[in-house]
Structure 1
Amino acid sequence: MEGEEAKHVYHEKQRLQFCLMHALNNLLQEESFTRAELDVIAEKLVLDDPIKDKWTPISLIFKPHHNTLTGNYDVNVLIAALEARGKGVVWHDRRSGASSIRLAEETLLGIMLNIPVRKFGLWRGRHWVTLRKVAGVWYNLDSDLRIPKPFQHEEEVTEFLNNIISRNGEVLIILHEKPSE
């Protein structure tokens, strides 16, 4: 049943540390972003930085918004990329818990998570994951999963989000349109 339901869901799988690119494409349900486009966004963020003249040669080798070899883009690239597509990004206040996220809200496109990852008990980095409702069903579209994992009901989504929040994960609410200022 799980595989049958997921057939109509776009799901990119993990390659190197391009989890942000995969998460963005899974959110938009198509191959919308490429590595080249995200690299350009990351470089533009560097050029637009008012303190770039104070960077050391080391900080220019290890780019501030991404790893040039493996990807590993940061939240600044995520926000700039989604805003370039007219989407809104709102940081979720973890003190409110996941129950404050209105999963049925029509303005909600999806949820992006930045999760600390451990391997063999050691901190390894962070991983981007998308949760998205497709055809009335919420899915975990983690690029590390073999296939999208459907949630049985919204309470299960809330429980999952509370677990992520309790493990110091970041939750970003993604809106269909950028809010007017």
Structure 2
Amino acid sequence: MSEMSAKPTIYHEKQIKELCALHALNNLFQTRGTFSKSELDAICSRLSPNVWINPHRSLLGLGNYDINVIMAALQKKGCEAIWFDKRKDPGCLDLANICGFILNVPSDYKLGFVMLPLRRRHWITIRQIQGNFYNLDSKLDSPQLIGRSCDLIAYLKEQLDSKEKELFIVVSKEVEEKQLWMHQYVLPTPEPNYCPKLPLNGESPSESISSNGQYDYNNRDAECLKLNDVQNHILSTENNC
């Protein structure tokens, strides 16, 4: 079998207890032991010291870590997690500058074979490996092939149609600081004596998820809004020619 047709070697950590956040992080970095349960527990303690019940993990300490723990863990590796406003088109994402994705989905809770009336949150990693994107959900028996870039965009659109799912984009610190995780568009040169009023008004980009893990939907019109503004301005320029 040639190298081109050989299947890529993919590290896929399987689900244990409530450690999906741990599995998602290790699957993202494609290395066994990138993080351990003790490291994530230490992050929980640092985020909320001197408390009897830590709000960043399950009551029994079996896992079920929240987004604050994941973000703190990523920062230790020089990465940031950016919440994506799912009202926007994932097509604005610049996949070349994105390390991977972490999808948060609702999950039922089982005790043995008994389904309990509890709603949990499940973390899933999506990342590119040798040109293809894979769903590395720790509940799957094996990695699930999504496909190329266009397939990923279609997949993300389908996932984000659900109100209960949230997407986080994992990028390097530099990409986050320069806002390079979305496509950069160059505005056309205006005609002489034409002074269009740009809708971009110098608005500051939305901030990352707050430390308490609450999503402020009203104030998180993230960078993808700028894509629509640019497109509207281009159309306006063409109509005035």
TM-score range, shorter chain: 0.7 to 0.9
1:77 aligned onto 2:69: yes
Name the residue aligned to 1:135. 130
Letter matched to residue 124 of structure 1: R
Name the residue aligned to 2:88. 96
Q: Structure 1 unaligned segments of length 5 or more: list them.
A: 53-59
Q: Give the SS at the match of 1:95.
A: coil
Name the residue aligned to 1:180. 177
Structure 1 residue 87: Cα displacement: 0.6
Name the residue aligned to 1:56. none
- Provide the C-alpha distance between the structure 2 equivalents of 1:96 and 1:38, rounded to a whole number of angstroms: 32
Q: Give the SS at the match of 1:27.
A: helix
Q: Give the SS at the match of 1:96.
A: coil
Alignment of 1:1-181 (within 5 A): 5-6=7-8, 8-31=9-32, 32-47=34-49, 60-67=51-58, 68-103=60-95, 105=96, 107-118=97-108, 124-167=119-162, 168-178=164-174, 179-180=176-177
1:116 and 1:123 in contact (8 A); partners too: no
The structure number with the bigger radius of gyration is 2
2:131 and 2:148 in contact (8 A); partners too: no
Structure 1 residue 16: Cα displacement: 0.7
- Provide the C-alpha distance between the structure 2 equivalents of 1:18 and 1:62, rounded to a whole number of angstroms: 18
- Provide the C-alpha distance between the structure 1 equivalents of 2:156 and 2:108, rounded to a whole number of angstroms: 18
- Provide the C-alpha distance between the structure 1 equivalents of 2:28 and 2:102, rounded to a whole number of angstroms: 8
Name the stretch that deviates more: 85-94 or 161-170.
Answer: 161-170
> CA deviation digits over 1:88-147, x for unaligned, max 9?
2211111113222222x2x21000111112477966211000000011111100001111
Structure 1 residue 159: Cα displacement: 2.2
Which structure features the higher share of helix residues? 1
2:134 and 2:147 in contact (8 A); partners too: no
- Provide the C-alpha distance between the structure 2 equivalents of 1:110 and 1:129, rounded to a whole number of angstroms: 11
1:66 and 1:72 in contact (8 A); partners too: yes
Q: Give the SS at the match of 1:166.
A: coil
Closer/same/farther in 2, CA of residues 76 and 151 from structure 1, 3 Å limit: same
Letter matched to residue 64 of structure 1: P
Q: Structure 2 unaligned segments of length 5 or more: list them.
A: 1-5, 110-114, 179-241
Letter matched to residue 74 of structure 1: D
Letter matched to residue 7 of structure 2: E
TM-score, structure 2 normalization: 0.62
- Provide the C-alpha distance between the structure 1 equivalents of 2:28 and 2:161, rounded to a whole number of angstroms: 23
